[in-house]
Amino acid sequence: MEKGRRRIPRLDGKRKADIVGVHKAWEQFKPVTLPPADFKPVKVKSEDIEAKYKDELETLAGQRLTHLSAEYREKLVKKPGDPDALTQLGILYGEYGLYAEALDQFEKILANDAGNAAARNNIGNIRFVQGKYDEALQAYTASLQADPGDPGIMVNLARSLQKLKKTDEAKKRFQDAAAIDPRVVRQYSDIATSLGVK
């Protein structure tokens, strides 16, 4: 192409070369295109992918969990029963759906500190995710008794009360949380709207 470009000025002086516009050339020579294809992309469902690669996905998730939990395990070797490390491990297990392992971490915290509000709140979160709203309510209630001014616990309590169709109680708990921290109305706008809290 470069070689041809350099020859044009020499040929042009002898009237042996003309520059022809693309559209003009198309009148005489059809543009080069590929023939139409009958190809239709296959639609793949996420369930099919998960079924086919289930073992690989579980292996990768396990490796990621091992990597993420290593720091907290090392802390527990140095300081067994460290509530912060146990809390973070419990949260990680919960995020990966390992609820029994998560609950075990929070129970270890309570064995050393029965009034630990965070551990009780996290137990409530696990029970809530499992759909065990009565047990979640008990855990959130115990958590709020340990830390009566925590608006996050109040919101969690309101959520579980709402699931148990105790709407008036749920609304009161949510309003209590909003009185302490007005931002909860915006942060949890779905709950606020469903309870009629502005």
Q: Where are the domains positioned within the chain? A: 52-195
**Domain 52-195 in CATH 1.25.40.10:** yes
pTM over 0.75? The answer is no
| pLDDT tens per residue across span 62-108 | 889 889 999 999 999 999 999 999 999 999 999 999 999 999 999 99
88, exposed or middle or buried, with CB in 10 Å at 0-12, 13-18, 19+? middle
* Rounded Cα distance, 158 and 140, in Å: 9
- Rounded to 10 deg, the angle between the 117-129 and 83-95 helix axes is 10
Which has the closest alpha carbon to 61: 99, 101, 96, 102?
Answer: 96
Q: Which residue has the higher pLDDT, 46 or 153?
A: 153
| Collapsed DSSP state (helix, strand, coil) of residue 168 | helix
Q: Which residue has the higher pLDDT, 5 or 52?
A: 52
pLDDT above 90 for 50: no
* Rounded Cα distance, 127 and 142, in Å: 14
**For the chain, how many residues are written?**
198
